[in-house]
Amino acid sequence: MRIPLVAGNWKMNTSVDEAEKLVLEMLDGLDRLDGVEKVLCPPFVSLVPLSMMLQGSSIKLGAQNMYFEAKGAYTGEISPLMLSGLCEFVILGHSERRWCFGETDEMISKKVKAALANGLKPILCVGERLEENEAGKTEEVINRQVTVALDGVGLNVPGGDIEKAERMSDNLVIAYEPVWAIGTGKAATGEQAAATIEFIRKALAGLWNRDTAEEIRIVYGGSVTGANIAEFASHREIDGALVGGASLKADEFVAIVEQTARIKGRDRTSRR
C-alpha cells in the first residue's frame, strides 16, 4: 500500500522568524497524525533552523528547488550537497520554475538525477497550462514531461538498473499540478485529477514496469484547501497533496493532513 504524503510548499513566503512561528503553531497537530508522511518546504534560509526544530518529530523537510551541479560558479544557486543532511525531499520542475524561470524538461531531468545521486527524494512536478488543457493536449504534455525528466533513470535505458527502478517507490514522488489551477482558486475536480494521475501511472509503467508504477506515490497540487482535500483524497489514484497557500495557515494545513490520513486510512482498512 502507498503511504499518503502531504507536502506544504511555502514558496517565497515567511521570514526565518515567521517560519519558526508557523512550525510552532502546527507542530503538535501534525506530529500526532499517523498514517501519512508530512513534509514542509520552506524557503532555503529557514532550512537550518527548522531542521533543528523538527528533530525527533515525524515531520520532514523539503527544499523548493536545487541546481544540478555539486559546486561551482553558479551565483545564487543551491547544490544538492548543500541540502544533504538538512532535508529529505526537494521539489523539482514546479510550474513556477518552468514558466517564470525558463526551466526546460532537460534541465529538470538533470536535477532529478542529481537529487537521487545525492540521497534526496525529488517531488517531481508535472502539469499542463490552460491552453494545452483546452486543446486536448494534457496527456501529450504530461507524457513528455514525465519521460524526459526520468530519462536515464532506472529501466528505460539499455542495461538499466532494475534494482534502482524498483527502489523508485521509496525515492520519488510525482505531483500532478495543472498550471491553470495553481494559486488561482480554481482546482481541478477529483475526477479530472484522478484520471490524469492514472495516465501518469501508465506512463511510468511504460518507463519501468507495472509493479514499480503502482508503488510510486502521485499526489495532486493546485488550489488544495481544507474544504476540497476530501474530494481528492477519496480517489484511490491520488496519494495526497502538494499544498501551496493553505500550507501557510497552520490550522488549515493540519486539517488537510488529518483528512488525508483519515480517508486514506479508511481506504486501506476497507481493502484488507
Residues serving a catalytic function are 94, 177
Dist CA 178 CA 222 (whole Å): 7
Dist CA 228 CA 189 (whole Å): 9
Contact predicate 94/145, CB 8 Å? no
C-alpha cell at 97: 520554475
How many other C-beta atoms lie within 10 A of the C-beta of residue 102?
Answer: 8
**Greatest distance between any 2 Cα atoms in the chain:** 54
Per-residue HEC secondary structure of 224-265 comes to CCCCCHHHHHCCCCCCEEEECHHHHCHHHHHHHHHHHHHHHH
Phi-psi region of 122 (alpha: psi -120 to 50; beta: other; left: phi over 0): beta
Closest CA to 231 of 182, 171, 198, 187: 187
How far is C-alpha 141 from the chain's CA centre?
18
How many other C-beta atoms lie within 10 A of the C-beta of residue 99?
Answer: 12
